[in-house]
Structure 1
Amino acid sequence: MYKVLIVDDDILIWKHMISVLNWESLGFELVGEANNGAEALLFLNEMKIDLVITDISMPIMDGVELIKLGKSKYPQIEFLVLSNYNEFISVKSAMKYGALDYLMKYEMDKECLEAALAAAKTTIEEQKMNRSQNRLVTLDTKWREQLVQQFWKSIVVQPQNKEALQLEALNLEIELSNGLYVLLMVGIEADNREDVKWNGNVQHICDMVKRVAELCKYSYTFALSETSLLIVLKYREKSSLFIKNTTYEIARNLKREVSDFMNQPLTMAISEAIYKLDDFPVQFEKLVNGIRGKFYWNIGKIMDVSFFNGFNQSFNRQLMYDLEKRFADYLQKSEAPDAMEVIETIFQEINKQKYEPELVYDYFTEMIISIRAIFEKKGLSFSENDGISFLSGKDLRNFPDLESLQVGFSRFVQTLQKVIRNSSTPGNRKDIKSVIKLVKENYKNNMTLDYVADYVGMSKNYFCTVFKDQTGCGFVEYLNKIRIENAEHLIVNTEKSMNEIAEEVGMTYGNFCKVFKEMKGVKPNQLRKYIVNSEG
């Protein structure tokens, strides 16, 4: 049953239509009435309606406006218009906005209504059939797309059953013979994977590929992952020079267009020519390594995998760790030119050998551990404020290729050397500054050498060496100096006894007198007498 809504402010009209027809026998169910277009729209929002029979002239919202708004929101609903003799212009507008037909109000008899409803029913059924067929076509297209994508994924990863794949290719109308294939892989770089939106752009890129790959017999594009696409190109021409030049031209044009609309740097790798099924997985693996090979020839390049034999997995540990040791020695001695020269040699050797990128990252991570040991041995403290957060090793993989890693690591080493040089300048070490502050605030307490060395995390002997380098005197001498300066202030400005003063500055009376005489050239009592006599 198709549902009908009658819209008319003339109650006699719609009562006549209700009574004169057997709606169910005609295949319709009358589900409601409305007095104007506004009421009808509310009804359409609440219930699924197939046919609306509406008057033209009504208060609040007329029939023409109802059809205009109703068709824009519910295009599947059909409208029949009721009109008077003087409403031709309005009827014309109603037909323009999608009304199916019109009936003259005062010529409406049973036969006329039945004919109009029969025609409306036929139209509704035809439209319903068309919508169903369109949905089936859409579903069929999506299903075939999934099958084609799965077919190519099976081909490039590892074709297990050649006969089954050849049969599948036949069913999907993919011609594997009479020509050769080339694979083109596209990798995208983004700081955050959330920034990569392949899914919404694959169709757009497919259209681009078809446009720039007009010289190919066949092309197919699909997303391999969040950050890579695979493009399958088929050529009839078997000239290797033609295929190479054409594929490079396609890659360049595609790279330019995709980079423009995605605003992300791209890296591309082109396979060698593929003549048989067994070659697909071999070339695909080369492409994967080729895209990763951007570590050596930088992001944004188009790479021919025929010139890349993969990464070197045999890391020459002896040579590389000898270089690391030389670098560490120069760094300890703050010999900047020599240290930078070793860094240059290390990167040249890595580029020459084309080591697996993860081996390279691991190597520099271990080097950073050695650098931390050097810092600790020198008693240096560091923080991200020093510009050397690199020491945590967490920033290494933020450098996507060898060139940027070399630039970053070289700047890092220069910063290290600057920190080491500054640390050798008297008074510049933060840990010794903290000890001086500690002494000035706590000289009254019992401050032992063991306590202070532990406070800055050094051995006692190493602390004594560093403290003397920074202050020009030993720790005990410096502590006594601070105590005696404060004692002198108390002698001059108070009437406290020498016993009281010695106790207040954290010294025994005997040691106080001895040290005071050594530093000031007079005994503390003599200084007090001199001051009293001077004032008298």
Structure 2
Amino acid sequence: MHNIPIKVLIVDDELPLRQELRSMPWHLFGAELVGEAENGEEALQLCEELKPDLVITDIIMPIMDGMDLLRQAKQRFPCIQFVLLTSHSDFQYAQQALKLGALEYVLKLTFEEEEMKAAVDKARAAIRRESDLRSYERERKRRDISQLLNTIEMGEADQAKGLSQLWEAWCRATPYYPVRLHVEVREGDRFHLLHELKIQLERLEKESSNFYWSPIGDQDIVFVFCNLHSALEACTQAEQVMRGVYQALEKRLTDPYGGIRLLAVTGGCVREPEDLISSLRASVITEVMKFYDSSLTSLTADKAASGLAGPEDSPDADQIISKWIDVAKDKEKILTFFHETLAPWAMASRFEPEKLIAFILRIRERVITVHSLLRPSEYEAFTVQLQGAPTFVQLLHVLVREQESEASGIRKIRNDVQLAQKIILTRLTEAITLTSISEEVGLSSSYFSRLFREETGESFNDYVTRMRIEKAMELLQTTQLKVYEVAERVGIPSYRYFSQLFRNWTGVAPNEYKRADFK
């Protein structure tokens, strides 16, 4: 509330007084006049529509007076602050209004600008105190629920008592669908991600009285939209939460999209306390989901479940093996097979990751045996990469790269990544973002980030930084430009940041590098 103007609603049945209030320099008070009403009934409706922070109201009015307005508004909108306009004859009412929760009263016929400014300042302080108190209470409640969720999930709590407490703590407006959000992030970005995620969830919590969230374990968060009535609606809301976090974080991460995964599963419908246990268990993020589903994926529990245990259990396994062996020596056909046959089959079946990888490794061995091939020099290296592939997308990339490497003898960087590198080199003086470059080469940001790292061996941000530092080294050695001018030429206008970055990459300060004879 420090910088956001307080929204003020004025209520009085006398037009001259409303005009006088209207003419106040509200902006100088750190406030904004958002509306006016002639009676309490009209003011209640405007409280619903305009959500003012402060209502300045007369006491004696037709239809609904200021006292009734105060009583009803405090029940429906407890966060709104009230200042009463009184005359000497209304003093008894004013005292009663203070007991009902009014903040202040001023004499309507003699008030000055300073009095109104003081009332606004008092309202701002009260709003801040109440906001801090509500935040503290929400955080305390969230910690309690988090501990309760952990003990219930670990089977360490009395189930009946735990469910009863959780039922009371959350909302009893059923049905609802708990969503479990799983968070994976590299350590350097963990603070930013969790901070932004908390902001998003707290915003939703403030906007809705029927939204709750709490951490569960180290990497999961459970949240509930109590006003939703289908698992599909819950999935949609979960996706909106994840996309909001991604958009807010993109420019703050060390490697946008490359080091973050957000996955969500919506559990079963909860109508009774006993449903909570089964819903929470159904929403557990499995290793299969982590392997097959990309980030920003939100699924219902039935869609997240794995299918067949291993490829050998599939009736199509023999056909897949036969097809792979048939096309193995034709680069174009084998790549088509990977993308159009193997990938859809594996993604639809959702085999256990370890069994799928073992299946693929066995087929590679059979291809060598059937075609009497010599193992390429990089065969073992690719085997290790396949064994350690954390996702199916990564597994597929390794298979494709292996074929391209075998066909050419040397590994070539894909055309779209080469184009991105050329664009970066021509725009070192400009602001370069992963989103803008990925759009120019026609790829999504998330896919482009992973692809760039796999093709070049370094992250997008590291590549851009390295190109800028190498260009700066060249300019420092071959021109008479000052250090700050070189910094501007390579797109880093902050002299201090450029100097620190240059030292981190080269081990010396820019001035030292410029004076020395580095070869």
- Give TM-score scaled by structure 1 length: 0.41
- Give TM-score scaled by structure 2 length: 0.42
Q: Which has the larger radius of gyration?
A: 1
